[in-house]
Structure 1
Amino acid sequence: MAGETLITIIGKVHDDPEQKFNVDGSAVTRLTVVTNPRKYNKQTNKWENMPGKFWPCRAWNQGQMLLADNVSNTLKKGDNVILHGEIETQVWEDAQGTKRRGDQIRIEAIGKDLRWHQAPANDVPATHQPAADPGGWGGEPQANQGGWG
């Protein structure tokens, strides 16, 4: 692969992912990710929201890699995500016979942006838990022995 245009986007899932299956049985999941850029206005000394950019995205299953299934089963409308993928230009003819083109992103990797997501209630809490080993992780602090701390 040479000459592809790769992009990394930090945004929000605009609509629930939609999974479909091609005639050959391969799965593809479609979703739209929206980015909301902000710009600092020097005259008002405030940040201003700029118009959002909507990115149509596609995730495919490839062999043992079940990206389309995982996107469909994991992400939902409103999730903050970070994705990396290739910009692809699609060309087609509309009903009037006019050639049309549009860009979409073929997702290589995607995941929730954990800066904004709250852990589910059934996950291990992020609070201090006493350890059985007082000198280990979460136990009583030891004197600095040239390590991390």
Structure 2
Amino acid sequence: MAGETVITVVGNLTADPELRYTQNGLPVANFTIASTPRNFDRAANEWKDGEALFLRASVWREFAEHVAGSLTKGMRVMAQGRLRQRSYQDREGNQRTAIELEVDEIGPSLRYATAQVTRAASTGGGGGGGQSRPAQQQQVSEEPWSTPGSSTSADAWSTPGSFGDDTPF
């Protein structure tokens, strides 16, 4: 959307995502991403950590349940979303402003780790809103990119034109 501040943050989760439900039953997960820049100090001939950025983030609906069930404290993640500013009054009556990341996409960084993806069952409706269904385990064998439940072992990329104009997944 025009005029929104979209950023990508790479960092580590400081705690497990906290999954809660609103009074209307909408799931929301909140968590903090710590991103610390590293720079090479030529004079000392070593890497040095800069000042860490601690950014609060949130996700909603089915996405929140996926995040809470998949990500844990210490995981290195990549998150993309929109910065949101909100004002509130603290317990002492002081006016405060918080900047938070409303996450559109998040996943584990594979730079120093591996991950196995489990496809969640679709609830229809595109943006979510309905009840979430249990995740379905995607069959992963020799063909990790095959369509779940398909029995073909042909490689979609090995023989040009063998699958017609439609992608096999």
**TM-score, with structure 2 as normaliser:** 0.66
- Give secondary structure in 2 for the equivalent of 1:109: strand
CA deviation after TM superposition for structure 1 residue 124, in Å = 5.8
For residues 111-138 of structure 1, the C-alpha deviation after alignment (integer angstroms, 9 at most, x for no partner) is 0111222357xx769xxxxxxx9xxx8x
Q: Return 19-28 or 89-98, whichever deviates more.
A: 89-98
Are 1:90 and 2:86 matched, yes or no?
yes
For residues 47-104 of structure 1, the C-alpha deviation after alignment (integer angstroms, 9 at most, x for no partner) is 211121111110111xxxx210100100001111111011111200112221100111
2:64 partner amino acid: A
Q: Which has the higher contact order (CA 8 A, sep 6+)?
A: 1
After superposition, the CA RMSD in angstroms is 2.2
Structure 1: which 5+ runs fail to align?
A: 126-132, 138-149
- Give secondary structure in 2 for the equivalent of 1:43: coil
Cα–Cα, structure 1 residues 8 and 91, in superposed 2: closer, same or farther, change >3 Å? same
Question: After TM superposition, which residue ranges in structure 1, 4 or more long, deviate above 6 angstroms?
Answer: none
Q: Normalized per residue, which structure has more strand?
A: 1
- 1:116 equivalent in structure 2: 112
CA distance in 1, matches of 2:85, 2:110: 30
Q: What percent identity do the matched residue pairs reach?
A: 29
Are 1:105 and 2:101 matched, yes or no?
yes
Are 1:77 and 2:36 matched, yes or no?
no
